[in-house]
Amino acid sequence: MKASILSFRAAVLMVLAGLIWGIVMGITEDHSNSSAHAHLNLLGWVSLFLFGIYYHLHPTIDRDRLASIQVWIWVAATLSLVVGITLVNSGRTVGYPFNVAGSLTLVADMLLFGWLVYKTERVEMPGRTAAAE
């Protein structure tokens, strides 16, 4: 599966979860997990959708297996971070390792995405030569 399709599908699932969670918080008037909800929406919906747009606009990288791996890592790390924040917000310190693992993995995965972006630009820019770099 192309990375863009994977990104878009994961983004839709994340935003649906975020919307339902937001509705539940509103109905129960318990906003103690609003920070976890915000992370789910920003990292899960917005970031994944932006990744999908980038990959769609760059078909060569969109078909690269490494791009799909980057998306899967982002999904797993986002879920880890959101679970960790939710646990910590409810007073369970067992959530801290999830926060650390999720946060550090997201940073590493963003570096991977950045590498794919710079690698792609070098390959796809017409008229660019090695001497120009």
Q: In whole numbers, what is the pLDDT of the chain averaged over residues?
A: 92
- Cα separation, 70 vs 47, in Å, equals 12
What band does 120 get if pLDDT is binned at 50, 70 and 90?
low
Can you give the pTM of this predicted structure? 0.88
Question: Tens digits of per-residue pLDDT, 23-76?
Answer: 999 999 999 999 999 999 999 999 999 999 999 999 999 999 999 999 999 999
Which residue shows structure tokens 């609003």? 34
Burial per residue of 86-123, b for 16 or more beta-carbon CB atoms within 10 angstroms, e otherwise: bbbeeeeeebeebbeebbebbeebeebbeebeeebeee
What band does 124 get if pLDDT is binned at 50, 70 and 90?
low
> Residue 44 has what pLDDT?
95
Among the listed residues 6, 114, 128, 3, the one whose alpha carbon sits nearest the alpha carbon of residue 57: 3
